[in-house]
Amino acid sequence: MSEPDDPSRDRLKLHFAQRVIHQSRQVLEIWQRLQRDEWTAGSLAELTDANARLLQYAKRFEQQGHAELAETIGASLAQVAANRGRLNSQAITELSQAMQSLSRTGLRQGDQLETTSLPPLRKPIYIALLDSERAERLAQQMEYFGVTIQIVHHADDFRAMMDSRHPAVIVMDVDFGGAGAGIQLALEAQTGLERKLPVLFYSHQEADTPFRLAAVRAGGQEFYTGTLDSARLLEKIETLTRTVYYDPIRALVVDDSRAQAMATEMALNSAGIVTRTLMQPGAVMAHLAEFAPDLIILDMYMPECIGTELAKVIRQHERYVSVPIIYLSAEDDLDKQLDAMSEGGDDFLTKPIKPRHLIATVRTRAARARSLQARIVQDSLTGLYNHTHTLQLLEDACFRARRSQRPITFAMLDIDHFKQVNDHYGHPMGDRVIKSLALFLKQRLRKSDHIGRYGGEEFAVVLPDTDLATATRLIDEIRQRFAEIHYPAPPKELSCTFSAGVAQLQPGQEMPALAKQADEALYAAKHAGRNCVRQYGQD
């Protein structure tokens, strides 16, 4: 005879699960911070201790998935410790993959917990505005997206709430509590904090530079004037609060000297940069396609060719036109250095070079290249990937799925009756609906999933390591929740729905065929009456 359901026991289990997820996020935050700093013995010990607590909690509270990941991370960290604290590319890659899996597991479990009656794991957003009605409207819109809001009515209430619990973000009227008092209140809240809380300031009127400087010093990340749009606030809050999986910088070193190549690799590995060394320049194109580096370091003089010749070969391929190339050579003739940089190079470093100089140059160049690439591949309205890059990501994901023999699904979504939204409510409202669906998808999908704006009101989602049934269930849950959102559109509120089609990659199938099948499934969903999800081949 089965035991009767015990609500208190279920709540206790969920509470324990939250403890495990909280510790997972602690591990992820330390890992993310280490990617910005050079690894030290102290930082390794900090990560090792946090992971040990995760393993302890996971075993105690019977969270098997988290326990296995903590054991994997612990084994990698033990190897680094055995190597006298020195990282290598294999360790960085293994740790990155484990951290990515931990991020996905934590986010999945967190989404499940948000549907319970327990207090949410995520920290709340404090809204302190003079206009209480505006605050209520903002809170209502933002809570549709799973954000927890606490409205502050008085300065004393704000101080009491800060003593009780720190928020993820503060939305503060600069005049809350008096003229300019909001900035002083935020500054007071930052006292004694190791890391400032992000504050989004609002002012009814434009402010001069000294006033804005005061806001920055009080932790201001944005300064809004005139109107407060919930969509803009949500986008900024999502950027400030999300747990980001950090993808380590990948550097390809081409140098015929094994000693010099190994020295460069060790220096970069010490900073958490995944490095691959290549001593045969003729094989560079194959490694570029497989390794996909963020940056290339070329020796200037090699037996097979010189660095500038190899740079020209690389630049002949459109996909690698924007990948930074750094020449590394003992050449100290400034004119020759400048000539080399004019032929496909971005920087010239002279041997011998201090490791910190090399690391700083690689990080700066790679970060800028990633930022520029993001601007090229992103849709300007939503921040999602554009049509072309979405298909490129789908092609790459299909290649990896075939190689690893793992499932991959592709979903296409289309907002129902969108033309009527534009015609009846105007294009600004249409843009708002599109942006809200984009944010909705970003919040409810994994960081390893790829979301693109396919065109107009159409979206596409690449779901690696996901079978057809799981993808269909996931997209359908998102569809149901999205339909619950209401947009203020006098004389009444507006709500929207979407239709979706889902297809899974089959053995021997190529990317274009998979995309076509998802499109056909979407058409079937539209034909079935809209506001539904259809699988390819479903009757």
Classify residue 280: in a domain, yes or no: yes
In this structure, are residues 171 and 128 in contact, taking their beta carbons and an 8 Å threshold?
A: yes
Average pLDDT over residues 372-399: 87
82, two tokens: 């055995």
How far apart are alpha carbons 50 and 34 in whole angstroms?
13
Q: Is 403 exposed, middle or buried (0-12, 13-18, 19+ CB in 10 A)?
A: exposed
Q: What pLDDT digit, counting tens, does each position of 4-44 carry? A: 455 555 555 555 667 787 788 788 878 877 766 666 667 78
The token pair that represents 2 in the structure block: 């089965």
pLDDT digits (tens, 9 = 90+) for 401-455: 888 889 999 999 999 999 999 999 899 889 889 988 998 898 788 877 899 999 8
Picking from 66, 87, 113, the residue at the C-terminal end of a domain is: 113
Among the candidates 201, 224, 241, a domain finishes at: 241
Q: How far apart are CA 537 and CA 539, in angstroms?
A: 6
Residues 324 and 206 in one domain: no
pLDDT at 498 over 70: yes
369 with 301, same domain?
Answer: yes
- What is the number of structural domains in the chain? 4
Tell whether 516 is covered by a domain: yes
Label the pairing between strands 533-535 and 498-504.
parallel
Q: Are residues 65 and 195 in the same domain?
A: no
- On the question of pLDDT at 49 being above 50, the answer is yes
Residue 2 maps to a domain = no
> Rounded CA gap, 214 and 235, in Å?
24
Give the C-alpha separation, 452 to 500, whole Å. 14
Shared domain check, 257 and 235: no
CB 464 within 8 A of CB 449: yes
Q: Could you tell me the pTM of the whole model?
A: 0.60
Q: Which DSSP string corresponds to 87-142?
A: --HHHHHHHHHHHHHHHHHHHHHHHHHTTSSSPPSSPPEEEE-S-HHHHHHHHHHH
Assess whether 203 and 300 both reside in one domain.
no
pLDDT at 458: 95
- Per-residue model confidence (pLDDT) at position 104: 62
The helix, strand and coil proportions of the chain, stated in percent and rounded to the nearest 5, come to 55, 15, 30
Beta strands in 302-449 (DSSP E): 325-329, 347-350, 408-415
Whether the predicted pLDDT of 205 surpasses 80:
yes
**Which pLDDT band holds residue 494 (cuts at 50, 70, 90)?**
confident
Confidence label for 242 from pLDDT (cuts 50, 70 and 90): low
- How far apart are the C-alpha atoms of 43 and 387, rounded to whole Å? 41
Residues 182 and 49 in one domain: no
Q: What pLDDT is stored for residue 292 in this prediction?
A: 84
| Domain containing residue 412: CATH number | 3.30.70.270
Between CA 229 and CA 265 the distance in angstroms is 48
Residue that is last in its domain, among 78, 113, 148: 113
Is 347 a member of any domain? yes
Q: Is the dihedral of CA 409, 414, 415, 416 positive or negative?
A: negative
Q: pLDDT tens across 321-374, in order?
A: 889 999 888 777 777 777 777 777 788 888 888 888 999 999 999 988 888 887
Do 216 and 319 sit in the same domain of this protein?
no
User: Is 241 or 482 the better-scoring residue by pLDDT?
Assistant: 482
- Is 380 inside a domain boundary? no
Q: Which tokens hold the place of 495?
A: 């709500």
Question: How far, in Å, CA of 161 to CA of 152, rounded?
Answer: 9
472: pLDDT confidence band, cut at 50, 70 and 90? very high
**Residue 346 domain-assigned (yes or no):** yes
Is omega for the bond preceding 355 within 30 degrees of 0, making it cis? no
Q: Are 295 and 346 in contact (CB under 8 A)?
A: no
> What integer pLDDT is reported at residue 463 of this predicted model?
94
Q: Which helix (H) or strand (E) holds 527?
A: helix 511-527
Domain for residue 43, yes or no? Answer: yes
Question: Can you give the residue range of the structural domain that contains 181?
Answer: 125-241
**What average pLDDT does the segment 82-94 reach?**
78
Q: Provide the H-helix boundaries in 449-510.
A: 468-482
State the Cα–Cα distance between residues 390 and 450, nearest whole angstrom. Answer: 7
Cα–Cα distance list, 438 to 116, 148, 267, 280, 457 (Å): 25, 19, 40, 45, 10
Claim to verify: residue 203 and residue 258 sit in the same structural domain: no
Q: Which tokens in the block code for residue 7?
A: 């609500």
What's the mean pLDDT in 207-227? 91
Peptide bond into 491 cis (omega under 30): yes
Same domain, 150 and 226: yes
Query: Collapsing DSSP states into helix, strand and coil, what is residue 190?
Result: coil
In this structure, are 467 and 430 located in the same domain? yes
Of all residues in the chain, the percent with pLDDT exceeding 70 is 90
Over 70: is that where the pLDDT of 467 sits?
A: yes
DSSP state, 205? Answer: S
- Would you say residue 118 lies in a domain? no
Shared-domain flag, residues 55 and 165 = no
What pLDDT does residue 12 have?
56
Residues 468/535, Cβ–Cβ less than 8 Å: yes
In this structure, the strands spanning 220-225 and 347-350 are unpaired
Q: Are 110 and 404 in contact (CB under 8 A)?
A: no
Which CATH number is 291's domain given? Answer: 3.40.50.2300
Average pLDDT along the chain: 84
Residue count (the chain)? 539
Are 286 and 367 members of one domain? yes
For residues 198 and 201, give the distance between their C-alpha atoms in angstroms, rounded to a whole number: 10
Per-residue pLDDT reduced to its tens digit, 102-130: 876 654 333 333 333 233 335 789 999 99
Stretch 284-295: mean pLDDT, rounded? 85
